[in-house]
Structure 1
Amino acid sequence: MTTKEIENKSKSLNYDKALEYWAEIPATLDGVLGGFGHISDEDILGSTLFLRSIMSLEKAPGTKTALDCGAGIGRITKHLLTNYFDRVDVIEPDEKFINSILDYVGENKHKVGSLYQVSLQDFNPERKYDLIWNQWVLGYLKDNDLVNFLSNCRESLSENGILIVKENVTSSGKAEMDPTDSSVTRTLKQFLKIFKSAKLKRIKQCKQLNFPNGIYPVYMFALICDKN
């Protein structure tokens, strides 16, 4: 499949259809994980190990501010980001999800900062972030919008700031559309092309371990501003 054909798949994404799909999904762990709530603990463990490796870098990010993109009910905010950062802002377009975040986060809700009810393609960062976390959400963006969003994130990174992408990656070598929620699962090669277009440099990459068979491989990428 050519690059042009892959990009054409993302062009067919329908943002309204995706919002309508999630509007019908309950604000539960199983709901936001598409019926795979049982993998949450293993997912958080993999993310924690990856984040620890990032925080141990010679030029590690600060620990003041993080941004959770497409946060759902706040699963990553609660179980990961509030353990490492003083303040966690949240982007989530679905009203019922964003309204459930503070209750879900619970005892660390005082660390939750701004709640932005907006789609990623329409988000304009208001402050600098030490870490920006994107997980299982970038498949809803068309290629051009994704490059623009990642570029905006790059510009909002603080000194030594890092952008994390954790997403499904096809093992077939071809981009795959899901018409149910209007999302696309990209290839590894396409992700790398998009990162380059957004002037982001990959400094670390890791595959999530111990997920059940029959689901997409999941990769984590740590990205910084490419100054070249």
Structure 2
Amino acid sequence: MATVANAVLVLLSLLLGGRLIYRYVNRPRPHSLWYGVGLILIACAALPELWFELTGQIPTALWWLYWSTASGCVAYLSVGSAYLMNARLGQVTLAVAAALTVWVVAATLLTGGTGPAVVATEAFRSAPTAAIKLPFLLQNIGGSLVILVGAIISFVRTRAAFALLIALGTFVFASGGAASGLMKVSQIFAFTQTAGILLLYAGVSLSLQPRKAPAGPPAEAAR
């Protein structure tokens, strides 16, 4: 079942991410672009786990791919949420996410080592070195906070359902690793990620729909 869930995760992330980027090309809105990038990165991070589930091995290139992209998905989803709130905030969040991406990629290439010959699924839940762990945590925790705060602010301002869906999707997606660790069932991770993506995409799709204009003052009754 974990293999099926990971396969669905890869395909769904690519499909939904590609759709959002396509919508950005036709109607440029920064938050749709960065939500799409975040979803594509989710597929990049899920691919090494799927490969491991199918073969029982993890090539070094896929090992590096996992640690270079697994935290970036939340970071770039948070860029999308930041742009929903304010263009300037989106630019600042993007700059921070890009800097952390350079950090975590460099740390992975310099200290991540080769893919281990024998690896358990749990190895994908704990950074192999301290140099990777810090930027990894900063991207995940900081990105999750930006998304949750942005969703709360958007809901307070607009009472729009998409804000709650984005917040719930982020919580489900980010809590997968903790849940699998606490319950000692590693397969939970793939299922919570898939559920989180579905909720996130539903919220993002609603956010892209045209907003209804506020009703104007009632016309004066004819005398």
Normalised to the residue count of structure 1, the TM-score between the two structures is: 0.26
Structure with larger Rg? 2
Normalised to the residue count of structure 2, the TM-score between the two structures is: 0.26
Higher helix share: 2
